[in-house]
């Protein structure tokens, strides 16, 4: 199956419709009721690293129904409808929902694996700083400043200069460690939200099944799905590996969702070349 040719086609099939409704309702609740009641919805339902005290198993599912803003939810829901509706029409609701959830879980697990590797390195460095300060070891101030620079922790320039020229000031080093501790805890408890991982699985499945279908970049420029998919996946993989400082996008969740989606659709399509029926 190289190109999508619609036959009996539902524009808004039942699973897609319900996923859209649930996501929109969660977004509204997240930005109205939760804020009015001062309920920390992301602490309970966003995805957190296993090393965080905020981690709960149900977050592997619930994080997919939270979004960070109007652009975030609109982009995800538009892609879900645009590509997911085609897959649900092809597979049926039950199979599509199974596929969607597994892609979301796979994306979350791969994201957690890389996140915990990064957090593990950060924790080791942080624990070393705490030990240096506890034993009043020489070089603690310089080590703390290097840690802050490496992890893009903003410090007052005057304070940095003071610590460089007064590295033996144990009391001020304690203040510096406190600032680093706050940053460490904030990193440890940073939440991940959004359905992007599952939707990248949907995109991967669509590209695999309909590689020669034309997509219209910015609604004007036609490009075959296989080239658009490869370019988009390559872009996400590049920045996931690069791991740029300040990048708050869960790139490995995107990569993981695409890989899981591709593996599932290839497995399902082993016995029948043109269709899953």
Residues 131 and 146 both lie in one domain = yes
Query: Would the pLDDT of 21 be above 70?
Result: yes
The CA distances from residue 32 to 68, 89, 143, in Å, are: 13, 34, 44
Residues 23 and 80 both lie in one domain = yes
Query: Would the pLDDT of 185 be above 60?
Result: yes
Q: What is the pLDDT of residue 275?
A: 46
Would 274 be classed as within a structural domain?
Answer: no
What 3-state DSSP class applies to 37?
coil
Residues 69 and 141 both lie in one domain = no
Residues 170 and 58 both lie in one domain = no
Specify the CATH number for the domain of residue 22: 1.20.1540.10
Domain that holds residue 148: 117-188
237 CB neighbour count, 10 Å cutoff: 16
Residues 82 and 121 both lie in one domain = no
At which of 167, 188, 209 does a domain end? 188
Residues 181 and 206 both lie in one domain = no
Average the pLDDT over 80-92 and give the result. Answer: 94
Query: Would the pLDDT of 276 be above 60?
Result: no
Residues 164 and 29 both lie in one domain = no
The predicted-structure confidence for 220-238, as pLDDT tens digits, reads as follows 678 888 888 888 788 788 8
> Both tokens of residue 70?
């109007």
Residues 121 and 45 both lie in one domain = no
**How many independent structural domains does the chain possess?**
2
Query: Would the pLDDT of 80 be above 90?
Result: yes
Residues 205 and 85 both lie in one domain = yes
For residues 204, 210, 216 and 218, what is the CA-based torsion angle, rounded to 10 degrees?
A: -10
Would 60 be classed as within a structural domain?
Answer: yes
> Which region holds residue 194: left if phi is over 0, alpha if psi is between -120 and 50, else beta?
left
Residues 45 and 172 both lie in one domain = no
CB 210 within 8 A of CB 276: no
Average the pLDDT over 169-177 and give the result. Answer: 88
Residues 76 and 167 both lie in one domain = no
> What is the distance in angstroms between the CA of the first residue and the CA of the last residue of the chain?
12
Would 275 be classed as within a structural domain?
Answer: no
> Comparing C-alpha atoms, which of 171, 188, 187, 179 is closest to residue 148?
179
More confident residue, 217 or 81: 81
Instruction: List alpha helices for the chain, DSSP H.
Output: 14-31, 33-36, 41-45, 59-62, 70-79, 85-91, 93-134, 140-150, 157-165, 170-188, 196-209, 225-242, 251-268
Q: Which DSSP category does 84 fall into?
A: I
Q: Report the sign of the C-alpha dihedral through residues 105, 208, 79, 94, in that order.
A: negative
């Amino acid at each position: 199956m190289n190109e999508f040719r619609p036959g009996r086609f539902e524009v808004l099939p039942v699973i897609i419709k319900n996923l859209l409704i649930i996501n929109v309702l969660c977004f509204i609740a997240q930005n109205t009721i939760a804020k009015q009641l001062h309920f920390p919805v992301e602490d309970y339902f966003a995805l957190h690293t296993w090393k965080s005290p905020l981690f709960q198993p149900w977050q592997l599912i619930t994080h997919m129904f939270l979004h960070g803003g109007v652009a975030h939810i609109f982009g995800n829901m538009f892609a879900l409808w645009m590509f997911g509706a085609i897959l649900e029409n092809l597979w049926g609701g039950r199979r599509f929902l199974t596929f969607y959830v597994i892609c979301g879980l796979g994306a979350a697990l791969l994201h957690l694996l890389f996140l915990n590797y990064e957090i593990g390195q950060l924790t080791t460095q942080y624990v070393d700083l705490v030990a240096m300060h506890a034993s009043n070891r020489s070089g603690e101030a310089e080590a703390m400043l290097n840690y802050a620079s490496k992890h893009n922790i903003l410090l007052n320039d005057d304070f940095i200069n003071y610590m460089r020229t007064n590295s033996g000031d144990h009391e001020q080093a304690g203040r510096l460690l406190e600032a680093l501790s706050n940053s460490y805890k904030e990193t440890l408890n940073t939440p991940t939200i959004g359905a992007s991982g599952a939707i990248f699985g949907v995109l991967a499945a669509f590209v695999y099944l309909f590689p020669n279908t034309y997509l219209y970049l910015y609604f004007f420029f036609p490009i075959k799905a296989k080239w658009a998919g490869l370019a988009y996946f390559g872009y996400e993989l590049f920045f996931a590996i690069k791991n740029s400082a300040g990048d708050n996008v869960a790139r490995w969740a995107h990569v993981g969702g695409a890989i899981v989606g591709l593996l599932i659709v290839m497995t399902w399509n082993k016995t029948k070349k043109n269709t899953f029926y």
